[in-house]
Amino acid sequence: SKGALAHYEPVVNVINMTKKKGAGSLLHEYAHAIDFTIGGFVSEEQNKLFTALSGGSTINQLVTNVGCQFRAMMNKILIYVRSTESFAKLQNKTIRLDYWCNSTELFARLTEAYYAYYYNKNHNYYLVKPVSVYEEKSKDAGVYLSKSEMDVIKPELDKFWKEVGLLLNDKCK
């Protein structure tokens, strides 16, 4: 994609990253892959209206995005994200809201910040950017949830990613 540091292609299930500037984007793109892979799995069996678990490129929360525990967890997470002050700030920016506010992008940025704030103790800047990028005083304020907003949703994200781990390791109920 022109201007992108990295992107995920759901049709072929591939993450592409630029050689020199893609660092810090891998986890964001991996979140897209999880979103579309699990969404496609549950859509085949339960809900053919949606491919991405998040509901995809919609900029409104889809109350009909139901079908399994993963969709229920995703809905809870996205409803919270859309209720935050950071999201309100994002909506007031003069940027492409159809991109920045769509469900799949919100989830990918949330995953990125979640890892940066709580798990990047070894400072792996190939996976995510330095935590300073995600903080409120950053030029990207509003694009990512603040640390205090992340603290509220962290228990739900912990549950979600634990279930993803169980699914990927074939241990899901």
Paired with 8 in beta bridges are 15
Kindly report, residue by residue over 13-69, the tens digit of the pLDDT.
888 887 777 778 889 999 999 998 888 777 655 455 557 888 877 776 666 655 678
pTM metric for this prediction: 0.86
Number of helices (H), then strands (E), in the chain: 6, 2
